[in-house]
């Protein structure tokens, strides 16, 4: 056994109670506290060991580096067998540290008499907990029960000034778990409203800028148009289509809108004849539906009809003069709608 010095009475304490003795062991704590560790050496040393002894010792002592750790032990001598057991001393009033400790782990009390340990435990702090300090970054990280599955980190970043950000709950009627969905992107933002009550019940919220700030639109969600249902307008409600006007020349006109007015050139189309116009309009598709009406012009021959053949971004608009003997004699203002 690694006993360099058997427990020897300390002169100034000799004859006192309890008896303090000093020893040097090269073995570690687990070996030193094994029952019977001192028995053979006790016989050979001739120094008696009793239950009244308190042994102060260097354990794990290295003779080359002259290093080790200091510890205090109480002695238990079994009645009948004389088996000696050293027990690491614990101070019932001042506490002790439960070994082994783990570097960089939080130390905490394990009972009400002052014993401490760094073993895993639910630790309570009655005040605030701070990670880092001004000028030194610190984060709070929470890990799931499954290994190698990431962590939830709460980290402060520079706020541009001495401004604190506080996250708190409102008055709750039940326990609630909030789950953040996967944004499928390395960067994401929460949508937030400025102010204690930033929205109006029933109104539609809208983005203010691109940073995630939401504001109230002032528009009731009930007034929003639905693309998959019938929308009934109120007395004040209406649909205003984009309007684009154009003036025809040489049988062609460009007017790209859902509604507007086409002004023809001064027409002289004979009775019973027609006048075709190539109409360029990006709103027109092959399935578009048209509506036309005469909204004025200098022409006084009124018996006129229209046909329109749609295509992709274009249509052929044909004007028919249905008066047998009278030619058209001026411009025609054609109001149109494209659906």
Q: β-strand 19-25 against 53-62: which pairing, if any? A: parallel
Burial class (CB in 10 A: 0-12, 13-18, 19+), 38: buried
Question: Residues 25, 32: contact at Cβ < 8 Å?
Answer: yes
H helix intervals, 25-174: 29-32, 39-45
The CA distance from 234 to 39, in Å, is 103
Within the chain, how many helices (H) and strands (E) appear?
A: 2, 20
H helix intervals, the chain: 29-32, 39-45
Q: Is 196 part of a structural domain of the chain?
A: no
Burial class (CB in 10 A: 0-12, 13-18, 19+), 260: buried
Q: Is 229 part of a structural domain of the chain?
A: no
Q: Is 123 part of a structural domain of the chain?
A: no
| pLDDT tens-place string over residues 305-332 | 999 999 999 999 999 999 989 999 999 9
Q: Domain of 332: which CATH number? A: 2.60.40
- Residue 11 is predicted with a pLDDT of 77
- What confidence tier does 136 reach under pLDDT thresholds 50, 70, 90? very high
The CA distance from 165 to 68, in Å, is 48
Does the pLDDT value for residue 256 go beyond 90?
yes
Last residue of a domain, one of 58, 88, 118: 88
| pLDDT tens-place string over residues 49-72 | 888 889 999 999 998 888 888 899
With a pLDDT cut of 90, the percent of the chain lying above it is: 69
Range of the domain at 305: 246-338
Please state, rounded to an integer, the average pLDDT across all residues of the chain. Answer: 91
Q: Give the pLDDT mean for 259-277.
A: 97
Question: Residues 71, 91: contact at Cβ < 8 Å?
Answer: no
For 104, the token pair is 């960089």
Domain count, the chain: 2
pTM above the 0.75 mark? no
Does the pLDDT value for residue 39 go beyond 60?
yes
Q: Is 185 part of a structural domain of the chain?
A: no
Does the pLDDT value for residue 45 go beyond 80?
no
3-class state of residue 184 by DSSP:
coil
Q: Is 11 part of a structural domain of the chain?
A: yes
- What confidence tier does 237 reach under pLDDT thresholds 50, 70, 90? confident
Q: Is 111 part of a structural domain of the chain?
A: no
Q: Is 105 part of a structural domain of the chain?
A: no
Q: Give the pLDDT mean for 17-39.
A: 89
Q: Is 21 part of a structural domain of the chain?
A: yes
Last residue of a domain, one of 21, 56, 88: 88
Last residue of a domain, one of 38, 55, 88: 88
| pLDDT tens-place string over residues 158-215 | 999 999 999 999 999 999 999 999 999 999 999 999 999 999 999 999 999 999 999 9
């Amino acid at each position: 056994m690694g006993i360099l010095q058997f427990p020897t009475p300390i002169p100034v304490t000799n004859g006192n109670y309890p008896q303090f003795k000093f020893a040097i062991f090269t073995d570690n704590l687990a070996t030193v506290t094994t029952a019977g560790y001192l028995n053979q050496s006790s016989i050979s040393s001739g120094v008696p060991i009793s239950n009244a002894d308190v042994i102060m010792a260097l354990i794990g002592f290295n003779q080359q580096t002259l290093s080790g750790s200091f510890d205090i032990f109480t002695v238990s001598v079994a009645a009948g067998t004389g088996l000696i057991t050293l027990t690491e001393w614990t101070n019932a009033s001042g506490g002790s540290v439960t070994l082994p400790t783990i570097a960089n782990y939080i130390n905490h009390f394990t009972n009400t008499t002052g014993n401490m340990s760094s073993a895993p435990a639910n630790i309570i702090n009655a005040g605030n907990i701070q990670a880092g300090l001004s000028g030194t970054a610190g984060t709070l990280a929470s890990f799931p029960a499954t290994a190698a599955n990431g962590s939830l980190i709460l980290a402060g970043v520079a706020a541009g000034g001495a401004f604190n950000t506080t996250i708190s709950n409102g008055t709750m009627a039940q326990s609630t778990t909030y789950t953040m969905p996967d944004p499928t992107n390395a960067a994401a933002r929460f949508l937030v409203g400025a102010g204690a009550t930033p929205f109006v019940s029933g109104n539609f919220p809208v983005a203010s800028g691109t940073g995630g700030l939401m504001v109230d639109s002032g528009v009731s969600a009930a007034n929003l148009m639905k693309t998959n249902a019938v929308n009934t307008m109120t007395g004040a409600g209406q649909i205003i289509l984009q309007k684009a006007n154009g003036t025809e020349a040489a049988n062609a006109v460009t007017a790209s809108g859902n509604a507007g007015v086409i002004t023809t050139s001064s027409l002289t189309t004979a009775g019973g004849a027609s006048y075709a116009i190539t109409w360029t309009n990006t709103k027109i598709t092959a399935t578009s539906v048209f509506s036309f009406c005469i909204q004025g012009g200098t022409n006084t021959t009124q018996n006129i009809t229209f046909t329109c053949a749609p295509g992709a971004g274009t249509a052929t608009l044909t004007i028919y003069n249905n008066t047998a003997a009278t030619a058209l004699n001026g411009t025609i203002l054609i109001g149109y709608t494209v659906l």
